[in-house]
């Protein structure tokens, strides 16, 4: 009570004025005198005019809430657009894979790429299919675009594939148009179609496919397209550059071909080469 009394003594002038103002407003609201009614009407009109004049000033709290709602809506829409874009790309990839599976005469084992090593001379891919799925070493790996590589290591549930863009990779190949034979190899920078004599017909734009002379791959798998043909002085062979058919950065799903080299043929050829 003592503190309340001290507070009243300190602000008594303001308290009395506020109390008198409240009493006056109450009396004015209760008074039905024509002059008082006129004053009330005038006051209400003035307040309305002031509010109307100040209505253009934005409500900061309301704007902040509206901005938060719009930001959240923008995030949700952006996420939905990304999901739709990803679904469209996945549909396009799966269509090409389905078309490949329907036209292939060899059993295909579907696999997803779960790891990529694209920064070294010996580039590899890790697949989520292994020996339990029927994958074995030396089986070719393909996509809807063409040849990806071949399996070099297998566990129960995973496999590692050696890519075409690997300095240890070699494959017998041929020009699909002119039927000229050669060897596909990667030098760490460029994919080349090697061992093609200068007199043979290879042109820019020709498709390069696996050859029937290959003991590691079925014939007819697209490897790439000839991007340049050069004839170096003092050499019996052309320098032929090939653009890979497969986009190794974008590829996510592949097939492992249930195809293994003919062991009898390989052993016979190795025996002859050693003689």
Tens of pLDDT along the chain (275 residues)?
667 666 666 667 777 777 766 766 666 666 566 665 666 666 666 666 656 655 555 566 666 777 777 777 777 777 677 666 766 666 665 565 665 555 555 788 889 999 998 878 899 999 999 999 999 999 999 988 899 999 999 999 999 999 999 999 999 999 999 999 999 999 999 999 999 999 999 999 999 999 988 888 888 899 999 999 988 788 889 999 999 999 998 888 899 998 877 777 777 767 776 66
What is the domain extent for residue 196? 170-245
CA distances from 197 to 61, 182, 206, 227, 237 (A): 79, 9, 16, 17, 4
Together in a domain, 82 and 123:
no
Residue 274 lies in a domain: no
Q: What are the tokens at 264?
A: 């009898």
CATH code, 214: 2.40.10.350
- One domain, residues 134 and 93: no
Say yes or no: 178 and 149 in one domain.
no
């Amino acid at each position: 009570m003592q503190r309340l009394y001290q507070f009243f003594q300190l602000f008594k002038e303001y308290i009395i004025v506020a109390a008198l103002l409240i009493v006056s407003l109450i009396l004015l609201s209760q008074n039905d005198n024509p002059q008082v009614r006129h004053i009330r009407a005038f006051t209400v009109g003035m307040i309305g005019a002031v509010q109307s004049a100040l209505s253009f000033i934005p409500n900061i709290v309301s704007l902040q809430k509206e901005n938060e709602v719009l930001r959240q809506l923008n995030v949700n829409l952006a996420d939905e657009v990304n999901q739709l874009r990803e679904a469209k790309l996945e549909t396009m990839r799966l269509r090409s894979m389905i078309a490949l599976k329907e036209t292939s005469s060899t059993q295909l084992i579907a696999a997803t790429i779960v790891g990529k090593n694209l920064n070294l001379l010996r580039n590899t891919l890790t697949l989520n299919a292994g020996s339990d799925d029927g994958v074995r070493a030396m089986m070719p790996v393909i996509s809807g675009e063409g040849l990806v590589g071949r399996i070099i290591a297998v566990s129960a549930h995973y496999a590692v594939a050696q890519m075409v863009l690997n300095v240890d990779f070699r494959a017998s190949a041929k020009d699909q148009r002119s039927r000229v034979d050669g060897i596909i190899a990667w030098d760490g920078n460029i994919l080349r179609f090697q061992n093609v004599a200068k007199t043979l017909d290879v042109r820019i734009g020709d498709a390069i496919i696996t050859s029937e002379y290959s003991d590691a791959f079925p014939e007819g798998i697209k490897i790439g397209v000839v991007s340049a043909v050069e004839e170096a002085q003092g050499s019996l062979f052309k320098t032929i550059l090939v653009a890979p058919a497969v986009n190794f950065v974008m590829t996510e799903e592949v097939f492992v071909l249930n195809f293994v080299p003919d062991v009898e043929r390989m052993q016979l050829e190795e025996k002859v080469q050693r003689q």
